[in-house]
Amino acid sequence: MGLKRDQNQWWKAKAQELEKVFAPGNSRTLFCIVQSIRSRKTIFSEAITEKNGQMIYSMEQRLKRWAEHVEEQFNQPAKNAPFIRTLKAEWSMNTQEVWYEEIQREVNVFKHEKALGADGLHPSLVEGGRSLIISLTDILHLVWNKEQHREKLNILTLIPIFKKGARSLCENYRGNSLMNVVCKVLSGLILRRLTNHHERQIRDN
């Protein structure tokens, strides 16, 4: 009965918290609270197997097996066939400094339902106003001009998403990479510039 009473009190407190942020129309905080309390379906198996089929129960060994599987997926052997370049168009991609408007555009297309990256920051936090976008622009100016960045930006959170088949086999999962906010903005900006360049080449040809 004590556990049941504690659960009821917890839910009552959460309901009061939801009502408090709902009254003034604070939808962003309301969304975060709902996301934190909603039930989540397990997306990967607790027990996985080695390549030889032996079951792994140790958390440390499971992490090593996942790391081994991911490394194999991202480090495929090079093809023996020679690379034949057929496109000889002039390279005219925009390589100028990143601009405030570009970064604002990338922030606007963030998907708010995405999980947090390695930095632990929710994408919606960047939408806090002009001052945050300006600070983000300054950071990306340094990255762009120096052509280097902190190693922390390379850290991704990789989530295995089950596809089909036996849940104990790593091969039956696809990886979903969660990037931090700065890296997400920069990669989106570069992709947009590459896409614009490619579309111009198609129109010209």
Q: Which amino acid is at 168?
A: S
Of 56-65, 83-92, 163-172, where does mean pLDDT reach its minimum? 83-92
What separation in angstroms does the CA of 150 have from each of 147, 153, 182? Answer: 11, 6, 11
Average pLDDT over residues 77-104: 69
Residue 141, pLDDT above cutoff 50: yes
Give residue 77's pLDDT.
65
Q: List the one residue out of 13, 21, 20 whose CA is nearest residue 37.
A: 13
Question: What residue spans define the domains of the chain?
Answer: 59-75+96-204
Q: What is the DSSP letter of 3?
A: H
| 32 pLDDT tier (thresholds 50, 70, 90) | confident
Average pLDDT over residues 35-62: 74
Average pLDDT over residues 24-43: 64
Q: pTM of the full predicted structure?
A: 0.56
The 10 Å Cβ neighbour count of residue 140 is 22
Give residue 91's pLDDT.
62
Give residue 6's pLDDT.
67
DSSP H stretches of helix in the chain:
2-22, 27-37, 59-74, 100-108, 130-146, 181-204
Q: List the one residue out of 186, 6, 203 whose CA is nearest residue 97.
A: 186
Q: What is the pLDDT of residues 104-126, one digit of tens each?
A: 888 887 776 666 777 777 666 66
| 42 pLDDT tier (thresholds 50, 70, 90) | very low
Q: What is the DSSP letter of 165?
A: S
Average pLDDT over residues 4-33: 72
Mean residue pLDDT across the chain:
76
> What residues have CB less than 8 Å from 98, skipping those under 6 apart?
137, 140, 141, 144, 186, 189
